[in-house]
Chains A and B, each alone.
Chain A
Amino acid sequence: SAVISQKPSRDICQRGTSLTIQCQVDSQVTMMFWYRQQPGQSLTLIATANQGSEATYESGFVIDKFPISRPNLTFSTLTVSNMSPEDSSIYLCSATGQSTDTQYFGPGTRLTVL
Chain B
Amino acid sequence: DAKTTQPPSMDCAEGRAANLPCNHSTISGNEYVYWYRQIHSQGPQYIIHGLKNNETNEMASLIITEDRKSSTLILPHATLRDTAVYYCIVRVFGAGNKLTFGGGTRVLVKP
Contact = CB atoms under 8 A, between A and B. Distances in A.
B68 interface: no
The B interface is mostly helix, strand or loop, or mixed, namely loop
A1 B59 CA distance: 15
Contacts of A96: 95-96
A33 B101 CA distance: 14
Interface residues of A, number: 24
Interface string B88-109: 0000011111111111100000
Interface string A31-65: 10100000000111100100000000000000000
A103 B43 contact: no
Contact of B42 (A31, A43, A107): A107
Contacts of A22: none
A31 B99 CA distance: 12
Contacts of B96: 30-31, 48, 96
Contacts of A103: 46, 99
Interface residues of B, number: 20
Given A31-B95, A96-B95, A44 B43 contact: no
A33 B43 CA distance: 13
B96 to A, nearest CB: 5
A62 to B, nearest CB: 18
Interface in A88-103: 92, 94, 96-97, 100-103
Interface of A: 1, 4, 30-31, 33, 42-45, 48, 92, 94, 96-97, 100-108, 110
In the A-B complex, the 10 residue pairs with the smallest Cβ-Cβ separation, listed nearest first, are: A105-B43, A96-B95, A43-B101, A42-B101, A30-B95, A105-B44, A107-B43, A31-B95, A108-B43, A102-B46
